[in-house]
Structure 1
C-alpha cells in the first residue's frame, strides 16, 4: 500500500534536540531555556551548570539570543552535548520541569523578519488566481523574491490572532473578509556578518528551523499591493512554533533541489544549495486540510541567506526568514486557503457540517511537520497554532 504524506506524521513523535523558552504561568520568575522530553521540559541551563555542560552562562539566559550570537561552533557543541543527555532520560529527572505551571514564550528576539516566495507551485497558483492564464513573473526564476515583514508582530504558537482591519477596496475600510493562513518553514539566523555571505558559508548562519504561519488578509493585501506591498494585509500577525529545531538535527532531511530553468546566477549555486524534505500538515478545527511538501521549494535555505546579503545587508542574531507558502502539485498539498478555494471561488466543508471560503472567527489553525532521521525514522518539528478572534 502506498503511504500518504499524512501517514508519515506520527501522533506524538520526539522533538530531537529542539530548544525553546518557558516562563512561569501566573507566578513571578525568569524565563528559561528548555528542551522538550516526553511529558516534561528539561531545564537546560541548570543541567549545564550542574554537569559542566558547554556555555552554561549562555544556556542560563532567559532567551536563545546569546546562543544565537555565539555562532555555529557553539551551536554544534551544545546540540551534541544535549543529545547525549536526552539519550539517557533517567539521568534527567533532577532537571525536569512538568508542563503544568509553565508556558512556552517566544524563544528569541526577532531582529528582522523577511518573508520569501520560494515555492514555484504557490507562485504559479497565485498568479493564475489573480489573472487566469498568468504564470510566475519574469524575475521569479532568477532570484528569491521576498518582502520585509514586521518583527514586532511575530508571536509564539498559541497566541490568539485578532482579525485585522484595513482598506479592502476604494472607500472601503473594515475587518478583512478573507483571512487566510500560510504554511511555511522559518529559518532562524545567528552569528553576525558585515557584508555578503557566499553560498558555501550561508548555512553556517542558520541556527535552526521553526514552523511559521504568515497570516494574511487577502482582500486588504490585494488592494494595497499595487504596485508595492504587501503591508497591512500581512503585518498584523505571524506565528512561529515554540521550538527551534537545530539545523544539524535535520541531517537526514537534506534533498537535491528541483531542476531549474533558467540556471541561476553563479552566486546562487554550490554544494550548499540543498532543500529540506519536511512534510507539513495543516488542520482547521481538527480537520486535516492539506500536507504541503517542504522538499518542493524552488529556492533553498542557503540561497535565501546569500541573496538577502548580496547587497551588503548584514545578518543579526535573531533574523527570521520565512520560506513563503509551501504547496505541492496536488490540491491536498496546497498550503493556504487562497489556493485551496482558488481565490474564494470554491468552498469546502468541515466535519462539523459548516463550510468555508476563508477563516471564521473562532477558527483554530494548526500546522505540524515531520522530517526523516538518518536512521530512517522520523521526528517532529513541533506545532504552530493560533485561534482567530473577532476584530475590535
Structure 2
C-alpha cells in the first residue's frame, strides 16, 4: 500500500507523494520567482520552508540552503542526483502521515499556512534558465509517418535514423511555460506549391501544428572536448517535462532545404511547469521501440528498460466550444505512450557530446514527436490529417486540418496508479491571431 499524506491529496492528482516535482513560482506573498514543489492541490513554497528551518531534519543539505532562494532551479540541479534524491525523499517524509518528519508541518498550522499555497493562487514560471535547446527526432513512428508523406514509403527513414539520434539546434529564447499564449507566426510560404517557378508570398502560417514531446533538463556540465560516456549520461539528467514544439508546416516546407527548420520552429516551444525528477521516474521505466540496427559501442546502454513509461494525451479546445458549446470544453485528439521512442535521453546526451560539445546545467533536450501506430496515437496534426489532405472531425460539427485562431491545446502525461500518480499537470497554449506587418 502506498504511503499516505496527512495533507488531503485527490486520488487523481498528478502530484501525489510518489511525485514531488520541482518548479518556480510566485505567490500572493512574494512576487519574486522562487522554488517550490507541487503536492496534491498545493504548492509547497521552498523559499519560505527553508527560511523557517524546514530542512533542519536534513543535516547534509545545510550547506546548500541558498539554492532555494534562487529564481531558477539551476543551482539546485547542479548539486547532482544524489542531493536531488535526498531532498525529494526528505520532503516526502515531511508530508507523510506518521513519518519521522511529519510533525514539522502537520502540527505547526502557522508554518503550514505560510508554506502551502493552493495551485490556483500561484503563478508558474520557467523552471530553469535554458542556455541551449536541442530537439531530437526519437519518435520512430512519427519519423516513418512523416517520411511516408513526402517520400517513397520504402525510404521513409533515412539510412542514419537507426544508427544515431537525429537532432537539430532549437531556439532557447522562445521556450515558454504553460499558459503562455501563442501568436500565430508569419513567414514565407508557397501559395501554390505545384506552380513553376516556385515564388513565395508573405503570410501568416496556414498550417500551424503541434508536436507532442517529452524534454529533459541537463544537470551536469562537461568540458569542451570531453564527451559524456553512456555509462555516465543518466546521472546528467535532472528531470523531465512535457513539451509542445509548435510548428508552422508551410513555412517549414519552403525553408528547410538544405539546412533544416529555422523560422518554422523558432517562434515558440511550450513546456509544463513542474520538473519530474529522475528519481521519481526510476520505478517507471520500460523497453522502448526495437532498434533493428546494431549500435556502435558508445551508444549501447546496459539497461534494457531505458524509456519512461508514461501515458500521454492531447486535448483540443476550439474557440467555438469555448464560447458556444457549454460542457463541451475539451476533445481528446491523441492518446499515446512514451514507449514509442527509439532513443533514450542518455543516448541523446552521449551522442550530443561525442564530438566534444559542452553541455551546461539547464540545457534542454527534446525527444521529438511521440506517435503510436494507430491514427488516434499520432502526436501531430500533420500525421492525423495526412499532410492536410483529410480533415479531423471535432465535436459540434467542426473540422480541422491545422490549428485555427482561438484553439487551445492541452497536453498531459502521467504514470503510476490512482492515488500514487506521477504526472506533469498541463502543458497548455492558446492561439492568438498573427501580428499585422
Q: CA deviation at 1:87?
A: 2.2
Q: Equivalent of 1:86, from 92, 95, 99?
A: 95
Q: Pairwise mapping of residues 1-392 of structure 1 onto structure 2 (< 5 A)?
A: 11-15=12-16, 16-24=19-27, 29-49=31-51, 50-51=53-54, 52=56, 53=58, 54=61, 55-88=64-97, 91=106, 93-94=112-113, 95-133=115-153, 134-169=155-190, 170-194=199-223, 195-272=226-303, 274-285=306-317, 286-372=330-416, 377-392=420-435
| Structural RMSD (CA) | 1.9
Question: Structure 1 residues 378, 98: CA separation in 2 closer, same or farther (over 3 Å shift)?
Answer: closer
C-alpha distance in structure 2 between counterparts of 1:143 and 1:276, whole Å:
19
* TM-score, normalisation: structure 1: 0.92
Cα pair 1:252 1:372 within 8 Å, conserved: no
Query: 1:124 touches 1:136 (CA, 8 Å); kept in 2?
Result: yes
Query: Gaps spanning 5+ residues in structure 1: where?
Result: 1-9
Q: Partners of 1:183 and 1:171 in 2: how far apart? A: 29
Residues 371, 378 of structure 2: 8 Å contact kept: yes
CA distance, structure 1, for counterparts of residue 293 and residue 120 of structure 2: 53
Displacement of 1:267 after TM fit? 0.6
Name the CA distance, whole Å, in 1 between partners of 2:229 and 2:393.
47
| Contact 2:209–2:246, Cα closer than 8 Å, also in 1 | yes
Q: Residues of 2 paired with 1:22 and 1:376: CA distance?
A: 25
Measured after TM superposition, the shift of residue 258 of structure 1 is: 2.9
Quote the offset at 1:41 in angstroms. Answer: 1.0
Deviations 1:120-176 (A, max 9, x none): 100000001112424101111110000000000000000001100111133211110
Moved more, 248-257 or 228-237: 248-257
Aligned-pair distance for 1:76?
1.8
Deviations 1:262-286 (A, max 9, x none): 1111110022561111110000011
Provide the rounded CA distance (Å) in 1 between the counterparts of 2:380 and 2:12.
23
Deviates more, 1:11-20 or 1:189-198: 11-20
Distance 1:24 1:46 in 2: 11
In the alignment, the residues of structure 2 paired with residue 200 and residue 321 of structure 1 have an alpha-carbon distance, to the nearest angstrom, of 18
CA separation of 1:100 and 1:294: change in aligned 2, threshold 3 A: closer
Q: TM-score, with normalisation over the residues of structure 2? A: 0.83
CA–CA separation in structure 2 for the residues paired with 1:211 and 1:70: 23
Encode CA deviations 1:19-42: one digit per residue, 9 max, x unaligned: 1111246x8631121111223210
Q: Which has the larger radius of gyration?
A: 2
